[in-house]
Chains A and B, each alone.
Chain A
Amino acid sequence: MQSTSRNFKDNAHKALNDATLQRALLNVKSGFQENRARTVAGLPEFERLRDAGRDIKNHVLANLDFYLERFEENVTANGGHVHWCRTPAEAREKILEICKRREAKTVTKGKSMVAEEIGLNDYLEENGVEPIETDLGEYIIQLRHEPPSHIIAPAIHVTREQIAVDFRREHSDLDPNRRLEEPRDFTDEARAKLRDKYFAADVGITGANFLIAETGSTVIVTNEGNGDMTQLLGKAHVVIASLEKIVPTLEDASTILRLLARSATGQEMSVYTSFSTGPRRSEDRDGPEEFHVVLLDNGRSAMLGTEFQDMLRCIRCAACMNHCPVYEAVGGHAYGWVYPGPMGSVLTPSLIGVEEAGHLPNASTFCGRCESVCPMRIPLPKMMRHYRQREFEKGLSPQKARAGLSVWSYVATRPKLYRLATRLASGLLGRLGKVKGRLTTLPLAGGWTSVRDMPAPEGKTFHDLYRDRQAAKGGRE
């Protein structure tokens, strides 16, 4: 995917002035945060599980070569194939080669951020293979020819009115009198439309939330079941995954599963957690004839041993962006590449370079909330500061920042960014004050509360404002 991360500030400005986008972004605040808070509160061991999750991933990263080799051994022993790819180009070519060998006309796809990272859809299309996204959110943005704006809710920037226009344009057989208003109407239409596609697909491509060294299994975690139908009904199943998705055992995956769904959607478990191991057995009645795992490095092995190694613990739950005041204000597209929000601000410069994405680590109010919710305890603000430091050293940051001013004053000298940051910070505190009742017990990084002794902000909290706004919309819900 072509990056526009260089233009973060222009992108952000446009996003702030986009009324439709702003309306859509309200859904980030209302849904994800409250649901996460509720399920986390329901599991007393959550904080200790975060430690356990972090420790598992740290162990894996310290022994990554060993576990990858065991994984490969076990995939092979179960009749599958592992393809090691250094670059996005190698991964694309490998997948195309499998498609060509199967004489594939269409491939169905489960949601995969790594597939976005390597620009797979455009490449397949250019080479005569039609990719069909089956996750509802991905399907919508594919119709709109847009990249995802969120790593677990790719179409969160789109309103239902926009989707109605897209469906009427793209589904030529759709009765003009058919109602497309309620979420149910869209879900039914997409369900019916995609049914046949699963059966017709020559190849099914999914991502992976985990790779299990012990068994050679790949794991996907979904709510819709689209990924399962993709890997069940395609004649070959291709998994595209990055190196760091590996965990040693089923038990290790189970520990991290307790963190993943709670942090992501605020569920205790996602609806489907599926472990795939090799192709169909000779006696099986269904399942793919071939099983391939395309393992992508794309710069990750070089992050090991650096101050950015911790980022490789990320399980792509999206909690950091769901709780980020900057993300909430500007949405995911402003970040200009595949991974938005705080995790993107660290990962994007690591993967595509500081030259391209050097602005992103500035897209932060350093409020610390991302780190406070990150299930893998990734020190996101600290790593953003490292990048600012690197940018500084390379002479990429503007004169004033290099003169030794703090990050905060860098932002403060830019009136628009400053207004954005302060507006966001006060809104954030209002919300936290509401959620927790008082500010002294905020689940924030110590760095924030230890230096600030803040009264709960006066006036309307975010929730009040949100309710008012919903009421003003006249019961549209």
Chain B
Amino acid sequence: MSARDDILGSIRKSLGREALTGDAAAQLRQRLAQPARNLIPDRTAGRDTAGLTTLFVDKAREFACTVDEVDSLDAVPEAVRAYLSRENLPARLVQAPALADGLDWSQTPTLEIKTGTSDGSEDTSVTPVFAAVAETGTLMLTSDVTTPTGLNFLPENHIAVLRRSQIVGPLEDAWARFRAARAKAGTAGPGDSFTMPRTVNLITGPSRTGDIEQKIQMGAHGPRRLHVILVAD
């Protein structure tokens, strides 16, 4: 017998039943096809966009992000320049291809801009996010040809561009948007109704470790700084 059959057989023997069929299996399939929400904390309940934004910013700061707010996408390049200069960081960065069309860097000529993924040599990356979770100050980033994952981890400083309308309350609302945005036409069934990207990263603050005597240090392997530029929209 194959290891697979052996293991499944052993599970069924321990559970005292055969493989599930009929209604029992159909119910489980249904549970997968229409994922229910479990208990969701009240923390974000009843908050409008402004309330969610405030909560997100508070939480992100609590977990060691820095946050700047700007009025429009046009103001992002200057906010990036100002941040790098304030933090004494080199005036170079690599931006996600997804941002290349949206950001106009012509007004910040002192910045050296590269577009693509990171080869580990860049100091700073600038990326969009898919959503942000106010409940815990968490960013959700998805991998794609225009949003390569390396940008989220390799540079020492990560600047995330977040639009206000991307902020949701609990994590479950972010998944709801995620499923809707990635829905496949005319499909049904588990894992079949939407596409998963290779990676989804939920990021809450900059990289850290407590492995040396339980003293927290920022910048263990991933970014030392996580800066959010929040764009009103």
Stretch at the interface among A121-129, A263-271, A406-414: A263-271
Asked whether, in the complex, the Cβ of A284 is within 8 Å of the Cβ of B219, the reply is no
- CA gap between A257 and B170 in the complex, in Å: 12
Asked whether, in the complex, the Cβ of B203 is within 8 Å of the Cβ of A191, the reply is no
Asked whether A394 is an interface residue with its Cβ less than 8 Å from the other chain, the reply is: no
Asked whether, in the complex, the Cβ of B7 is within 8 Å of the Cβ of A84, the reply is yes
Asked whether B22 is an interface residue with its Cβ less than 8 Å from the other chain, the reply is: no
- CA gap between A255 and B41 in the complex, in Å: 10
Asked whether, in the complex, the Cβ of A254 is within 8 Å of the Cβ of B171, the reply is yes
Asked whether, in the complex, the Cβ of A224 is within 8 Å of the Cβ of B207, the reply is yes
Asked whether B185 is an interface residue with its Cβ less than 8 Å from the other chain, the reply is: no
**B215 nearest CB across to chain A (Å):** 4
Asked whether, in the complex, the Cβ of A286 is within 8 Å of the Cβ of B117, the reply is yes
- CA gap between A84 and B219 in the complex, in Å: 36
Contact of A269 among B14, B32, B136, B154 (CB under 8 A): B136
**A46 nearest CB across to chain B (Å):** 9
Which of B25, B152, B153 has the most A CB atoms < 10 Å from its CB? B153
Asked whether A183 is an interface residue with its Cβ less than 8 Å from the other chain, the reply is: yes
Asked whether A276 is an interface residue with its Cβ less than 8 Å from the other chain, the reply is: yes
Asked whether, in the complex, the Cβ of B199 is within 8 Å of the Cβ of A249, the reply is no
Residues of B within 8 A of A306 (CB): 14
Asked whether A101 is an interface residue with its Cβ less than 8 Å from the other chain, the reply is: no
Chain B residues numbered 53-76 whose CB sits less than 8 Å from any CB in chain A: 59, 63
Asked whether, in the complex, the Cβ of A43 is within 8 Å of the Cβ of B41, the reply is yes
Asked whether, in the complex, the Cβ of A250 is within 8 Å of the Cβ of B210, the reply is no
Stretch at the interface among A132-140, A326-334, A353-361, A461-469: A132-140
Asked whether A153 is an interface residue with its Cβ less than 8 Å from the other chain, the reply is: yes
Asked whether, in the complex, the Cβ of A70 is within 8 Å of the Cβ of B221, the reply is no
Chain B residues numbered 99-157 whose CB sits less than 8 Å from any CB in chain A: 116-117, 120, 136, 138, 143-145, 148-150, 152-154
Contact of B32 among A224, A229, A248 (CB under 8 A): A248
- CA gap between A160 and B198 in the complex, in Å: 38
Asked whether, in the complex, the Cβ of A136 is within 8 Å of the Cβ of B202, the reply is no
- CA gap between A62 and B207 in the complex, in Å: 37
- CA gap between A187 and B208 in the complex, in Å: 9
Asked whether, in the complex, the Cβ of B38 is within 8 Å of the Cβ of A271, the reply is no
- Can you spell out 12 A-B residue pairs with CB atoms less than 8 angstroms apart? A67-B28, A77-B192, A134-B221, A140-B211, A153-B211, A183-B212, A187-B212, A228-B222, A255-B39, A271-B63, A275-B200, A286-B149
Asked whether B51 is an interface residue with its Cβ less than 8 Å from the other chain, the reply is: no
Residues of B within 8 A of A283 (CB): 145
Which of B31, B145, B190, B191 has the most A CB atoms < 10 Å from its CB? B191
Residues of B within 8 A of A90 (CB): 3
Asked whether, in the complex, the Cβ of A248 is within 8 Å of the Cβ of B222, the reply is no
- CA gap between A304 and B181 in the complex, in Å: 39
Contacts A44-B42, A285-B117 given; does A301 touch B148 at CB 8 Å? no
Asked whether B205 is an interface residue with its Cβ less than 8 Å from the other chain, the reply is: yes
Q: How many of chain B's residues have a CB under 8 angstroms from any CB in A?
A: 75
Residues of B within 8 A of A281 (CB): 145, 197-198
Asked whether, in the complex, the Cβ of A135 is within 8 Å of the Cβ of B211, the reply is yes
Residues of B within 8 A of A318 (CB): none
Asked whether B35 is an interface residue with its Cβ less than 8 Å from the other chain, the reply is: yes
Residues on A close to B: CB < 8 A?
24, 27-28, 30-32, 43-45, 48-49, 52, 56, 62-70, 73-74, 77-78, 84-86, 90, 134-137, 140, 153-156, 159-160, 163, 183-184, 186-187, 190-191, 194-195, 199, 213-217, 223-226, 228-229, 232, 243, 248-252, 254-255, 257-258, 265, 267-281, 283-287, 295, 297, 301-306
**B127 nearest CB across to chain A (Å):** 13
Query: In this complex, what residue of A is CB-closest to B152?
Result: A228
Residues of A within 8 A of B116 (CB): 285
Contacts A84-B2, A223-B208, A274-B199 given; does A136 touch B38 at CB 8 Å? no
Residues of A within 8 A of B120 (CB): 195, 199
Residues of A within 8 A of B36 (CB): 251
Contact with A along B1-34 (1 / 0, CB 8 A): 0111011101110111001100001001001100
Query: In this complex, what residue of A is CB-closest to B138?
Result: A269
Asked whether, in the complex, the Cβ of A27 is within 8 Å of the Cβ of B214, the reply is yes
- CA gap between A309 and B149 in the complex, in Å: 38
Contacts A30-B214, A84-B2, A254-B175 given; does A287 touch B149 at CB 8 Å? yes
Residues of A within 8 A of B43 (CB): 43
**B78 nearest CB across to chain A (Å):** 28
- CA gap between A213 and B219 in the complex, in Å: 33
Asked whether B86 is an interface residue with its Cβ less than 8 Å from the other chain, the reply is: no
Contact of B202 among A28, A140, A272 (CB under 8 A): A272
**B195 nearest CB across to chain A (Å):** 9
* Apart from A254-B172, A285-B116, A306-B14: 17 A-B pairs, beta carbons within 8 A: A66-B20, A68-B7, A77-B192, A90-B3, A155-B211, A214-B191, A224-B209, A226-B221, A229-B154, A251-B36, A252-B35, A254-B38, A272-B203, A277-B197, A278-B196, A286-B117, A302-B10
Residues of A within 8 A of B41 (CB): 43-45, 49, 258
Residues of A within 8 A of B143 (CB): 284, 287
